Structure 1
Amino acid sequence: MVAIIGHRGAAGTFPENTMVSFIACEKLGADGIELDVQLSKDGEIVVIHDETINRTTNGKGYVKDYTLSELKQFDASYKFKGQFDNCTIPTLREVFEWAQGNNFSVNVELKNDKLEYHGLEERVINLIRSFEMENRVVLSSFNHKSMLKFTLMAPDIETAVLYNKRNKEPWKIAEDYKARAIHPNYRIITDDLIEKTLKYNVAVRPYTVNDAKIMKRLIDAKCSAIITDYPEMAFQLRGEILK
């Protein structure tokens, strides 16, 4: 069955990359969540997409220039105009603590393709091990060398290469970097390429699929999962198709 992964939680209707958004995914029929991580000034693994806090909070500046306690002072739901109380930037530890109460998969995307976060890979692996999440986590990044580093350091944890440029043989990207999955932009993956890639035992999880027609096509194509801002829509469509 095609899994439904909530992109930054249920980012279409909730503040992205927040505990409120992740918790909503449970009610909306998702099978897992996707989130983004970076390091704070004091080396904490924080969940936020952009290298700066400008777009998603009421603050300004780079994530790396704030300590965790400073980052916690900002409102991560300010664009939702008071709909959610005390909505802060979470840590990956907080997410894993919450995940102990469910069976969700957690796709951890490292935002290390623009800024180099020294020690990020090691810290993420140590946290995964401390929560015994090895079989529930997929690590991904546009920094393919980082994914190779992960595989060499922790071959038991699944890695996936993110990419957004057309490729006639996408399974080879996974092979080159010893990844078990590809996470392509949905616009550049065809049904034929999905079928061929799966035959090489490489999982295919397109992102960010928010259109019902495209969701239906990808579910019919039996890709491994779809990553979407609207898990509720995907859940309903999957149910209709599988009737």
Structure 2
Amino acid sequence: MTLVFAHRGFSALYPENTMIAFKKAGDAGADGIELDVQLTKEGEVVVIHDEKVNRTTDGSGYVKDLTYSEIKSLNAGMNRKSEVPSLREVLQWLTENQLICNIELKNNVFAYAGMEEKVIKLIREYGLSHRIILSSFNHNSLVLCRRLAPEIETAALLSQQIYQPWVYAASIGVQGIHPKYVHLSDDTLQQSLANGVAVRPYTVNKGKHMRRLFHYGCTAFITDDPAYAVSLRRNLNNPHFGV
């Protein structure tokens, strides 16, 4: 069965990368959530997508230049009060359910020394290694994660087409690829799956695209609207649903 992962939580309806968005994704029937992590000035792991806080909060400046307390004082909900969660808060919540969690390491712009070790330590502390996927556009970071924690699944984020990504995945020791949906051909999808490589494209919001992925038995896909995706999966035998 093709799984449904909520992109930064249920981000179609709720503030991205907030606890309300993650909880609503679970309520909607998502199989997993996707989130992004960065480090504060003193090295705390927080859940936020952009290198700057400007777009998603009422603050300004780089995450790396703000202290944890400064980050926590920001409103990430705009119209509704929501804090920027720490990774620890999310992992604690995950112990109360069975959701899978794709943690994207946002270290392709800033290196964030020690990020891999900090994230892995937290995952192990909460006993969640079997329900976590670590992904990144920084593939050097994924190789390091694989060395540090071979028990945690890793997946390479791909923003462009690459030749035989299943071969590339094997070469760097990751178990999955997370390609940009528009670059995922039928052949690449089928060949990757046939070679034992998990495929979870991003960001898939149109019904016709979801139907294609369900048809080919894609491992999972990442969507802003998990409720719609789950409903479509439930109604696959109805050709008029979600057109």
Q: Same fold (TM over 0.5)?
A: yes
Listed one character per residue, the Cα deviations across residues 126-173 of structure 1 (whole Å, up to 9, x for unaligned) are: 001100111000000000010001001111110000011112311122
Which of 104, 109, 131 in structure 2 is aligned with 1:114?
A: 109
What is the distance in 2 between the residues matched to 1:191 and 1:232?
25
What is the distance in 1 between the residues matched to 2:183 and 2:30?
24
Unpaired stretches in structure 1, ≥5 consecutive residues: none
What is the distance in 2 between the residues matched to 1:97 and 1:156?
20
What is the distance in 1 between the residues matched to 2:62 and 2:7?
22
2:135 is equivalent to residue 140 of structure 1: yes
Which of 201, 207, 212 in structure 2 is aligned with 1:212?
A: 207
**Residue 133 of structure 2 aligns to a residue in which SS?**
strand
Unpaired stretches in structure 2, ≥5 consecutive residues: 239-243
**Residue 235 of structure 2 aligns to a residue in which SS?**
helix
**Residue 173 of structure 1 aligns to a residue in which SS?**
helix
2:241 corresponding residue in structure 1: none
What is the distance in 2 between the residues matched to 1:207 and 1:9?
13
What is the distance in 1 between the residues matched to 2:234 and 2:181?
21
1:234 corresponding residue in structure 2: 229
What is the distance in 2 between the residues matched to 1:5 and 1:27?
13
What is the distance in 2 between the residues matched to 1:193 and 1:240?
26
Q: TM-score, normalised by structure 1?
A: 0.96
1:27 corresponding residue in structure 2: 27
RMSD: 1.0
Alpha-carbon distance, 1:242 to partner: 6.0
Alpha-carbon distance, 1:29 to partner: 1.3
Which of 160, 177, 194 in structure 1 is aligned with 2:155?
A: 160
Give the percent of matched residue pairs that are identical in Structure 1 and Structure 2: 47
What is the distance in 1 between the residues matched to 2:167 and 2:44?
34
Residue 103 of structure 2 aligns with an amino acid whose one-letter code is V
Q: TM-score, normalised by structure 2?
A: 0.96
How many residue pairs match? The answer is: 238
Alpha-carbon distance, 1:203 to partner: 0.2
Residue 184 of structure 1 aligns with an amino acid whose one-letter code is P
Which of 212, 216, 224 in structure 2 is aligned with 1:221?
A: 216
What is the distance in 1 between the residues matched to 2:74 and 2:53?
9
Alpha-carbon distance, 1:191 to partner: 1.9
